[in-house]
Amino acid sequence: MDIIEMTRELGKALQADDRYIAYNLAKQANDADAELQRQITDFDRMRSELNTELCKEDKDTDKIKELDEGIKSNYKKIMSNKNMIVFTAAQGALEALVNNMNQIITLCANGEDPETCQPSQGCTGSCETCGGCS
């Protein structure tokens, strides 16, 4: 088996992991939540309108303030939605897993022992001991 085939096997193992499964289930719940999807659409529309208004030479400061407040309010609603809360947690867990996998591969590519190298749990500020930023 060559290294690319082994990587594909690693990809299969990732997709069988509970964190990946939880992420996909949470994503499906978000996609099925009509109210959440409406809020996201409204958020995107308001953000686009705000960007358009900010690019104008004769900016309407009242409209900018109104859009900014609407965006902030809508963001709070989106992030407090129960499906979004579950999704955000599941996404964080999956990202942490993938980050650890990437760090181990980077450490090994830099000559570390695959059996003993450990991914860092956060940036220490020292690039000398770092497995790489993700």
Q: Are the beta carbons of 120 and 132 closer than 8 angstroms?
A: no
Can you read off the two tokens belonging to residue 29?
A: 């719940």
Q: Average pLDDT for residues 103-132, to the nearest whole number? A: 79
DSSP the chain: --HHHHHHHHHHHHHHSHHHHHHHHHHHHHHH-HHHHHHHHHHHHHHHHHHHHHHSSS--HHHHHHHHHHHHHHHHHHHHSHHHHHHHHHHHHHHHHHHHHHHHHHHHHTT--TTT----SS--S-GGG-----
Confidence (pTM)? 0.80
The residue count for the chain? 134
Q: Are the beta carbons of 108 and 114 closer than 8 angstroms?
A: yes
The tens digit of pLDDT for each residue in 5-55 reads: 999 999 999 999 999 999 999 999 999 999 999 999 999 999 999 999 999
